[in-house]
Structure 1
Amino acid sequence: MNKQIKHFFSFLPLLATLAIFSGCDKDSDTVVPESELPAQALSFIATHFAGQTIAQVVEEKERADVSYDVKLTDSTKLEFTSAGTCTSIESAAKLPDSVVPAEIRDYVTTNYSPYEVRAWELEKNDQEVKLTNGVELKFDLNNNFLRVDD
């Protein structure tokens, strides 16, 4: 019996640590009204997706970070930071020219015509576009072509 108690107490710090960290998990996804989107995000949608309406807004909380996933009525998906900066756009069809940097559009037109950009993502160190034929291209933050992505 003494051995069992010792064994139990040897696991107690591990159990306490697990309990603390499971209670600290503040990650959550919540559907919110579009009025909770930052003004910059609402302006971006109105400017570049005129005629589309917002079907759903999901607020994602991951620790201290907040972001928003927006789905439009035509199934276009957009992601925004808490400040309202667009970081990702995905559509089944061609994206509006106004959301793709001109240098990237020109590169795609010159090298991949007749295919067009249907998705764009801003990452920490680069950008990625996906074409209507499924090819993914990487560009640096200055819109210079880097490589075809796997």
Structure 2
Amino acid sequence: MKDLKISSILLLGLMIFSVFGCEKEEIIKENELPSSIKSYLDTHFTSCNTTKIIKDEESNELSYDITLDCGVNIEFNGNNQVIDIDGTSQLPNSVIPSNILDYTSTNYSNDFIIGWELEGNNQRVEMNTNVVLEFDSNGDFLRIVD
């Protein structure tokens, strides 16, 4: 019975290590970012500086979470593609796909976009009024998200 308890404890410890031990998160400097990410930041956020960059490797999936001093947080996946942008004020139009920008300009002319996210094959934008809109991969409107 004592051996069973010891085996159970060891197995539990191994399971916890395998779940939590696969995550590696580190703060890196801007010069350690892939050049395509640096180029994206230089193109779309010219007046912003990075305040924190976290390189995250979880279950063999790489991502970069970048905080800018202008109130924007951007996440890139392991392919260096933007998957999430959250801001406290209006995001630059250049980071919003044109179909989505056209739709929101027409249907929400008094509002502006403060967040954009790629979720599966769909895209979501958050307006400054907290309305969240969902679009397909082509930028065609699907629905208002509750």
Counterpart residue number, 1:92: 88
User: How many angstroms apart in 1 are the aligned matches of 2:136 and 2:5?
Assistant: 49
For the residue of structure 2 that corresponds to 1:108, the secondary structure is: helix
Counterpart residue number, 2:14: 20
- 1:114 matched to 2:110? The reply is yes
**Structure 1 residues without counterparts, runs of 5 or longer:** 1-5
**Structure 2 residues without counterparts, runs of 5 or longer:** none
Identity between Structure 1 and Structure 2 (%) = 31
For the Cα contact (< 8 Å) 1:118–1:131, is it kept in 2?
yes
Q: CA-atom RMSD, angstroms?
A: 1.4
The counterpart of 1:44, out of the listed 31, 40, 44, is 40
State TM-score, norm by structure 2: 0.91
For the Cα contact (< 8 Å) 1:93–1:118, is it kept in 2?
yes
The number of residues matched between the two structures is 144
**Paired residue type of 2:14:** I
Whichever of the two has the greater Rg, that structure is 1
For the Cα contact (< 8 Å) 2:53–2:64, is it kept in 1?
yes
**Paired residue type of 2:38:** L
What is the deviation of 1:88? Answer: 0.8
For the residue of structure 1 that corresponds to 2:25, the secondary structure is: strand
